Amino acid sequence: MSDALPTESAKTRQMVVNGTTVPFADATVHLMSPAMRYGLNVFEGLRGYWNDDERQLYIFRLQEHLERFDQSIRLLRFKAEFRMDAIADATLGLLRADNHRANCHIRTTAYLDGIGEHHVTGPVSWMVYAGPRPRGKKVESGIAAHVSTWRRMSDNALPPRIKCGANYANARLARFQAQIDGYDDAIMLNDEGKVGEGPGACIFIVRKNKLITPSVTSGILESITRDTILTLAQDRGISIEERAVDRTELYASDEAFFAGSAAEVLPIISIDRLPVGSGAVGPVTSLLQKDYFDAVEGRGNLEKSWLTPVWNT
Ligand SMILES: Cc1ncc(COP(=O)(O)O)c(C=O)c1O
């Protein structure tokens, strides 16, 4: 599961740094900055979806991403001088300036700039990048996951609720272990040994026609896709449980999938080499995946309050 940026095309792009549009090569940070030395940054990853019928690019749940971004900034005690409106404007401005008329992935990061130790509160800089990011190759066929021996950090140590770069050292350990051991990705248990999330996505299982996902107090990121899936499932009349999930429920599940802005809806067809259900992508997963793609791409009669249009049509 390589998530490398397409470097050559990235180099031709522009970025917004502290409200100014600059060439990709000029978007740099000092080696002595707390962002660099301690990984002191918070970020969001969003997707833009191109709707060809409407000739429109939609940013999916921009408002909710910015609310979480703001929360991460506050919880990590960054003293930011900017407002979320400026980030929203910069995001739209960048997509327009770069003439984005295809699916894209947007990175929004706030970081401790300047030169300082890990306890400084500023200066806080921010940047926005947008570039291509293809859909995962296994989004249709599904992936093989395992339960990692690496635990997700607890809310009392390095809270997953804060979407900060440093948290991804933990995610990295789990993903590498999974891949070295021959799996596509990892499922991480939380500090209490209950199911937490993946290195870069939240997790759902289906058991006996119920859609089950760890509660937001399970030491996980408050995923926006998780909220989206729960809403879509509710609209379908699927019964939902948000609660602590045992490890063995993973093995006993009929279906399982990861969900996240980057991962989208990614079926899990085996866990620790045990087939999930029949070992094929299940009906609830397929239905919710279809609903998710319809929602993000602004198709059908779904209401569009989650979508921010980029172009004035
Ligand atoms: C650790 C982790 N959990 C869950 C998610 C899913 O969050 P969201 O749906 O807000 O993208 C992500 C994706 O960013 C993540 O990195």
Write down the mean pLDDT value for the chain.
95
Residue at a domain's end among 107, 131, 155: 131
For ligand 1, atom 3, the nearest C-alpha belongs to 201
Residue at a domain's end among 63, 98, 131: 131
Say yes or no: CB of residue 190 within 6 Å of ligand 1: no
**Pair 118, 11 in one domain:** yes
pLDDT band at 189; cut points 50, 70, 90:
very high
Q: 62: buried, middle or exposed (CB in 10 Å: 19+, 13-18, 0-12)?
A: buried
Q: Say if 310 falls within a structural domain.
A: no
**Pair 259, 287 in one domain:** yes
Ligand 1 centroid vs 313 CA: distance in angstroms?
31
The residue-averaged pLDDT of 243-268 equals 98
Percent of the chain with pLDDT over 90: 91
pLDDT at 110 over 90: yes
Residue 223 is part of a domain; what is its CATH number? Answer: 3.20.10.10
Say yes or no: CB of residue 289 within 6 Å of ligand 1: no
Nearest-atom index, ligand 1, CA of 64: 10
Nearest-atom index, ligand 1, CA of 226: 9
Query: What pLDDT sits at residue 5?
Result: 63
Query: What pLDDT sits at residue 12?
Result: 80
Residue 94 is part of a domain; what is its CATH number? Answer: 3.30.470.10
**Pair 286, 162 in one domain:** yes
**Pair 170, 284 in one domain:** yes
pLDDT at 313 over 80: no
Say yes or no: CB of residue 159 within 6 Å of ligand 1: no
pLDDT in tens, 45-94: 999 999 999 999 999 999 999 999 999 999 999 999 999 999 999 999 99
Q: Say if 61 falls within a structural domain.
A: yes
Query: What pLDDT sits at residue 4?
Result: 61
Q: Say if 303 falls within a structural domain.
A: no
Query: What pLDDT sits at residue 112?
Result: 98
**Pair 25, 120 in one domain:** yes
Phi-psi label, residue 19: left if phi above 0, alpha if psi -120 to 50, beta otherwise: left
Q: Say if 311 falls within a structural domain.
A: no
pLDDT band at 8; cut points 50, 70, 90:
low
Q: Say if 190 falls within a structural domain.
A: yes
**Pair 266, 160 in one domain:** yes
Nearest-atom index, ligand 1, CA of 167: 1
**Pair 180, 106 in one domain:** no
Q: Say if 261 falls within a structural domain.
A: yes
**Pair 274, 171 in one domain:** yes
Query: What pLDDT sits at residue 6?
Result: 62
Among the residue ranges 84-88, 144-148, 182-186, 301-305, the one predicted with the least confidence is 301-305
Among the residue ranges 9-18, 26-35, 173-182, the one predicted with the least confidence is 9-18
Say yes or no: CB of residue 165 within 6 Å of ligand 1: no
Among the residue ranges 9-18, 176-185, 233-242, the one predicted with the least confidence is 9-18
The residue-averaged pLDDT of 179-191 equals 98
Q: Say if 210 falls within a structural domain.
A: yes
Q: Say if 268 falls within a structural domain.
A: yes
Say yes or no: CB of residue 19 within 6 Å of ligand 1: no
- The domain in which residue 217 lies consists of 143-297
Say yes or no: CB of residue 223 within 6 Å of ligand 1: yes
**Pair 58, 193 in one domain:** no
**Pair 108, 248 in one domain:** no
**Pair 11, 77 in one domain:** yes
Number of domains composing the chain:
2
Say yes or no: CB of residue 221 within 6 Å of ligand 1: yes
Percent of the chain with pLDDT over 70: 96
Say yes or no: CB of residue 224 within 6 Å of ligand 1: yes
Query: What pLDDT sits at residue 3?
Result: 61
**Pair 177, 56 in one domain:** no
